[in-house]
Amino acid sequence: MPIIGIDLGTTNSLASVWKDGKCQLIPNALGKFLTPSVVSIDENGEILVGQAAKERLVSHPHCTSAGFKRFMGKNTELILGNHKFSPIELSSFVLRKLKEDAEVFLGEKITEAVISVPAYFDDNGRNATKAAGELAGFRVERIINEPSAAALAYHKGNENDMSFLVVDFGGGTLDVSVVDAFSNVIEIVAVSGDNHLGGDDFNHAIANYFCKQNNIKPDTLTKETIAGLIRQAEHCKITLSKTEPVMMVAEINGEQCSAVLTNQKLVEICAPLLRRMEKPIARALRDCKSTIGEVDEIVMVGGSCNMPLIRQYITHILGKTPLFYIDSDTTVAIGAGIAAAIKERKSDLKDTLLTDICPFTLGVNVLNYEDPTNDLFSPIIERNTTLPTSRMRTYYTVHDNQSQMFIAIYQGESMYCKDNLKLGELEIDIPKASKGKECADIRFTYDINGILQVEVTCRSTGKKDELIILNPKLNLSKNQLKTKLKQLESFKLLPRDEEANKLILATASRLYEQSTGLIREQIHQHIDYFNLLLHEGNDAKIRRYRKDITQFFDQIDEDLNPTDDEILREFRDSYNDEDIEDINEQFPYEGDDEE
C-alpha cells in the first residue's frame, strides 16, 4: 500500500506518489494537478473543495473560505453559512479530496501520507496539520518542512556536493532554509521564515491600490465586491508575469472603475512586502554562519515565485540568479512524494537520508530575580539543532525549604516566557533544603517528527517524571478523533463525477455577479439549458455542452480582465522601457553587514 506525499498549501494543494521509479503528480477530477485550497458549503449541505469552491468566493463569500492554513494551530472559528469550522476541519476536507483523487489514480486504498508544513510552523501548527490528516483518514507519522521537500526534489539524482538557499514563497507563508547536500544525504542547516507573508498579501495590496485610485473606501464595500476585487487583483498579478501593462476593471456601486498596472507600479505598491523578505533570508544565513557567497545555488519554490518582481528582487539582494528548472508550484509536492518513498523504504531510495532541524528554540522557565512575576526563558535545545536530538541542563532550587519544582516548557526566541509559546508543564517533588542545594536534571528529547519528550530527574532521590508534549487543544485522542469524525461525516464531499458540472454552475454564478445587461441574460440562458441537460442525464450531451459553455465563460473572463483595449494601447504608446528604473535603483540595499 503506497504512502503519498502532500503539499497542503495556502493557495493550492497537490499530492504525489513514487511510482515506476519516479515521483508522479496525482491529477484531480478535473485533470489538474493543483487543487485550490478553498472550501465551500452549498445549499444542500455538500462540501465543495477546489476550483468550484474558488469560483464561489465571489458569488457566495459567506459560505466559502480560503487561506485558512494561516490559522492552523490557532483556536479560530471560520463560519461557512450556518456552520462553524476550525482550520483543522477545513484542511481535512482538502486532504480528503486529495485522498480520494489518489485512490482513483492508484486504484487502491491510501491510508498514510507525508504532509509538508512551513519550516517556521511552531508545534501548534504542526500538530494541527497532523490532526487534519487524521480527520481525513490518513495516518500521519511524518511531517516534512516545505524547504526540505524542495531540497529533496532538486537534489534527487544529483551526485554533486552543493549547498542551497531555498526560498519557499507561497500564497500565505515565506520559508527560507540553508541546505547542504552531499552524496545521498540532504542536511538542513538553518531555517527562518514569516508565517504571515505570501502572495495573498500582494493581491490585497493591489486591491487596496485600486480602491485608492478610484477614491473607494474598502469598508463601504460588500463581502461579494471585496472578494471580486481580490480575484481581479490576483488575475492582474498573474498577467503581469507575462505582459504589461494590465488594466484592472470593476463595476463598483454602478460605476465603472479602472486602474492601470505595470511591474514598476507593483514595485511601488508592494515595497513594504518585499522589504519583509530580507529579514528571514538574513537570519537563516546568520544562523548557519554563512555568507551568500558560500552558498552554491538559490532555489525558489512556491507559486508566488512565478512573479518576475520576486525573482528580480531576490536576484538583486543576493546577487545570484535563482534556479528554476522545476515548476515552482509542484516542487514541494514532488519532494514530499520522495520523502514518502524514503519512509516506505523503496529500494531505489533506501540509501537517501534527509536530516531536519528544530525550527524554534525549546526551553523552560527560570526565576527572574528583578521581576519575579515575569519568568525568564532558559533554552535547552537551540533553534537549528539537527534532529533527532537529546539535550540536558541542570536547574537548582531558588527558595529555602522548597519542596517542589514547577517546570513550564516553552518554544520561541524571546527572553521572557510570556512572549513565547507554552507547550506544557509538570511538577516534581524534591527534598527540602537550603536554596541551591537541591537540583533537577531536565532532558529534552526531540525526534524527527517534532515530538518532544521532557524528562525531569531529582538528582538526590533519583525520582523521575516525564511528559510527552501534546497540545490538548490540537492533538486528538482516539475518542476525540472518533467523535470528530462522526461529526464531520454529516458533511459529504461533492461526488467526484459531479465536480466538472458543479464547476460550470459555480463559474456561471460568479460571472453573473460580475456582469451586467445582455451578458447576464446570455449567462442565464446558458445555465437554464445546462440545468435542463443535467435533469435529462444525457452524459454525452452534457460533456459537449460543457465544452461550449466553458469557451463562452473564458471569453467573458477575458472581457472582464482586458489586456489590449484602446486605453491600454494608448498607455503602451507612451510607455518606454527606458522610463522604468532599474530594479537595483528601486531597491537600494540598506541592510547592515550583520544582517
238 falls within a domain:
no
Cell of 371: 521581576
578 falls within a domain:
no
Q: What is the pLDDT of residue 476?
A: 57
Cell of 102: 489518489
157 shares its domain with 23: yes
Residue ranges in the chain whose pLDDT is less than 50: 471-474, 564-595
Domain boundary (342, 357, 372) is at 357
% residues pLDDT > 90 (the chain): 46
111 falls within a domain:
yes
23 shares its domain with 70: yes
332 falls within a domain:
yes
Q: Rounded to whole angstroms, how far apart are CA atoms 437 and 400?
A: 9
Q: Please indicate whether residue 200 is annotated as part of the active site.
A: no
417 falls within a domain:
yes
The residues, ordered by sequence, that sit 6+ positions from 421 with a Cβ below 8 Å of its Cβ are: 122, 123, 124, 360, 410, 411, 412
407 falls within a domain:
yes
106 shares its domain with 188: yes
Please name every residue paired with 205 in a beta bridge, in sequence order, or none if there are none: none
Beta-strand ranges (E) seen in 418-554 are 421-429, 439-446, 452-458, 464-468
Q: Please indicate whether residue 168 is annotated as part of the active site.
A: yes
**Contact call for residues 476 and 486 (beta carbons, < 8 A):** no
95 falls within a domain:
yes
17 falls within a domain:
yes
Domain boundary (341, 357, 373) is at 357
- End-to-end distance of the chain based on CA atoms, in angstroms? 48
Active-site residue, selected from the candidate residues 101, 122, 146, 234: 146
Q: Please indicate whether residue 69 is annotated as part of the active site.
A: yes
Query: What's the CATH code of the domain at 74?
Result: 3.30.420.40
Sign of the CA dihedral with 446 first, then 452, 455, and 456 last: positive
314 shares its domain with 371: no
Active-site residue, selected from the candidate residues 54, 69, 130, 237: 69
Neighbours of 571 (CB within 10 A): 15
Q: Please indicate whether residue 7 is annotated as part of the active site.
A: yes
Nearest to 318 by CA among 302, 301, 297, 339: 297
Q: What is the pLDDT of residue 449?
A: 67
b/e string for 17-43 if b means 16 or more Cβ within 10 A? bbeeeebbbbbbbeeebbbbbbbbbbe
344 shares its domain with 383: no
Neighbours of 7 (CB within 10 A): 32
153 shares its domain with 111: yes
The count of C-alpha atoms lying within 13 angstroms of the C-alpha of 220, restricted to the half-sphere facing its C-beta, is 6
402 shares its domain with 448: yes
Q: How many domains does the chain have?
A: 3
Q: Rounded to whole angstroms, how far apart are CA atoms 341 and 133?
A: 18
Our measurement of the distance from residue 54's CA atom to the centroid of its chain's CA atoms, rounded to an integer in Å, reads: 17
Tell me the pLDDT tens digit for each residue of 292-325.
Answer: 888 888 988 888 888 888 988 999 888 888 887 7
44 shares its domain with 135: yes
Cell of 51: 476550483
Nearest to 50 by CA among 33, 62, 71: 33
Query: What's the CATH code of the domain at 408?
Result: 2.60.34.10
Q: Rounded to whole angstroms, how far apart are CA atoms 174 and 70?
A: 11
Q: What is the pLDDT of residue 6?
A: 98
378 shares its domain with 453: yes
Q: What is the pLDDT of residue 574?
A: 44
Cell of 465: 517524571
The count of C-alpha atoms lying within 13 angstroms of the C-alpha of 372, restricted to the half-sphere facing its C-beta, is 2
Domain boundary (357, 375, 399) is at 357
326 shares its domain with 366: no
Tell me the pLDDT tens digit for each residue of 419-444.
Answer: 998 988 999 999 999 999 999 999 99
* Residue ranges making up the domain that contains 282: 4-198+271-357
305 shares its domain with 169: yes
Question: Could you tell me the CA-to-CA distances from 137 to 95, 287, 488 in Å, in that order?
Answer: 9, 38, 12
Q: Rounded to whole angstroms, how far apart are CA atoms 153 and 338?
A: 7
Active-site residue, selected from the candidate residues 123, 168, 201, 234: 168
Helices (H) and strands (E) in the chain, counts: 15, 27
286 shares its domain with 349: yes
DSSP string of 126-152, one letter each residue: HHHHHHHHHHTT-EEEEEEEHHHHHHH
